[in-house]
Structure 1
Amino acid sequence: MARIAIDMDNVMADLTQHLLNVYEKEYSEVVDPESLNNIPEGSAFPEGVALKILSAPGFFRNIPVMAGSQEVVKALCEKHEVFVVSAAMEFPLSLAEKLAWLNEHFPFISWRNIVFCGSKTIVEADYMIDDHDKNLSSFKGTPLLFTAPHNLPLTEYKRVNNWEEVAEYFAVSNVETV
């Protein structure tokens, strides 16, 4: 049994798509998702706009679930010790919203296995699935980079592009992802 730490934003929750949807709704401007490739997160928007959207009440509560994540995380929980680890402290409103989101979409994850922190450098696990180099670079276990537009240039990690690849990596069978 392995201990697996899994990030929320852009791994379990489709933060990028939600940000694009909210931006379009609030600013009546469509941003091509391809324009986000290879640039730092939030940089495709006018200065301060991404931060404003991320800080708004309800933003983190309403993020869509990443395709396949529920089924694969549940299967992983049956074979491994799984922790959801989110650097949530930057956006204080996100704490309650992320917990409510997890309770709704991942009710099989115990509150004991949810870690909200400021820095993931304290995380000790066998594996970490995350979309940010800053979280994986100091990790002492095996890092798995979950593909997101901002991390496409990174080549120093084992990359997983979707939850089907996560299931394959951990040899979780009998999992149907959508």
Structure 2
Amino acid sequence: MARIAIDMDGVMADLTQHYINWYAERYGVTVARESLHGIPETTGFPQEGVVKQFLYTPGFFRTAPVMPGSQEVIKALSEQHEVFIVSAATEFPQSLSEKQEWLGEHFPFITWRNIVFCGLKTIVDADYMIDDYDKNLRYFKGEKLLFTAPHNMLLEDYTRVNTWEEVAKYFSLVPATTSPAV
């Protein structure tokens, strides 16, 4: 049984889409996801600096959309491995309760014992880490899986997984949506 550390933002929660949606709702401009490829997160919007403020806005983390396929794959992983959700949530203190509530709603099978809210992730001791940020993977001692996000499109130093379906294949999980052949 492997220990797997999984990041929330950009991995379980689709923050890029959330930025795009919130920006469109507030400023009437829809930014194409592809236009954000290869640039730092929260940049690339017509009014620079505005999107970063979303991270400090009550309700932002609570209403983030779930990354497609994450619920099914993480449930399957947790049935075969020791799974911990690891989020550098203390950077945004108001996010702590919102992230806890979000996990309870969308991932009810993850118990409080398997949720780690921290600052730096250098403390994390696991066999695998799935994260979208180089700063979190760089010093990790186990197997590093970079979950694709617009801000990391230019990174080539890690094993990349683009979707949760690819994560399932990496860990040799049988997709939950596929029925066995009869």
Q: TM-score range by the shorter chain?
A: over 0.9
TM-score scaled by length of structure 2: 0.95
Correspondence list, 1:167-178, <5 A? 167-176=168-177
Contact 1:167 1:175 in 2 (8 A): no
- Aligned positions of 1:121-140 closer than 5 A: 121-140=122-141
Q: Which residue of 2 aligns with 1:22?
A: 22
> What is the rounded CA distance, in whole Å, between the counterparts of 1:100 and 1:70 in structure 2?
15
* 1:166 partner SS: helix
Q: Is the 8 A contact 1:4 1:83 kept in 2?
A: yes
Report the secondary structure of 2:91's partner residue. Answer: coil
Match of residue 165 from structure 1: 166
| Alignment-derived partner of residue 117 in structure 1 | 118
Q: How does 1:1-178 map to 2 (within 5 A)?
A: 1-45=1-45, 46-176=47-177
C-alpha RMSD over aligned residues: 1.0
Cα pair distance change 1:174/1:154, threshold 3 Å? closer
Unaligned 5+ segments in structure 2 are none
CA offset at residue 174 of structure 1?
A: 4.2
* Contact 1:15/1:64 (8 A) holds in 2: yes
Aligned residue for 1:73, secondary structure, equals helix
Quick one: which amino acid aligns to residue 95 of structure 1? L
Task: Give, in whole Å, the separation in 1 of the partners of 2:83 and 2:59.
Answer: 26
* Equivalent AA in structure 2 for residue 105 of structure 1: H
Q: Distance in 1 between matches of 2:166 and 2:177?
A: 12
Aligned pair count?
A: 177
TM-score, length basis structure 1: 0.97
Asked whether the 8 Å contact 1:85–1:116 carries over to 2, the reply is yes
Which whole-Å CA distance do the structure 2 matches of 1:85 and 1:130 have between them?
9
Contact 1:128 1:143 in 2 (8 A): yes
